[in-house]
Amino acid sequence: MPNEKDYAALPLEALLAEQKDVKRNQLLSAAAIGFLVGVMAYGLVKNGFGFLFLAIPLFLIVGIYKNSRVQKQTLEQIRAEIEARRIT
């Protein structure tokens, strides 16, 4: 699900706000992945191998990771547009 926004049409203030939102989303994604890894580790220590503690967090981690890759590409586009505006 690539981002379809046209960053060239946005003013600089909106680009900076968008950059801040994307950075916050990346931080939340990293925290969620860390939490889910902790759930998996706890499940392994307490109950051994179980579907609830291994498979479900693993599927969620994969989904979050794919979304974070899209967010990273979006952040690169925003940074490129900000740099282009600062140069000119």
Q: Where are the domains of the chain?
A: 11-87
Number of C-alpha atoms within 13 angstroms, CB side, residue 77? 17
Which pLDDT tens digits describe the chain residue by residue (88 residues)? 455 778 888 888 888 999 999 999 999 999 999 999 998 998 888 877 777 788 899 999 999 999 999 999 999 999 999 898 888 6
- Model pTM score: 0.81
pLDDT of residue 21: 95
The C-alpha atoms of residue 86 and residue 37 are separated, in whole angstroms, by 40
pLDDT of residue 75: 93
The C-alpha atoms of residue 31 and residue 88 are separated, in whole angstroms, by 37
CB count in 10 Å sphere of residue 44: 13
pLDDT of residue 8: 81
pLDDT of residue 1: 47
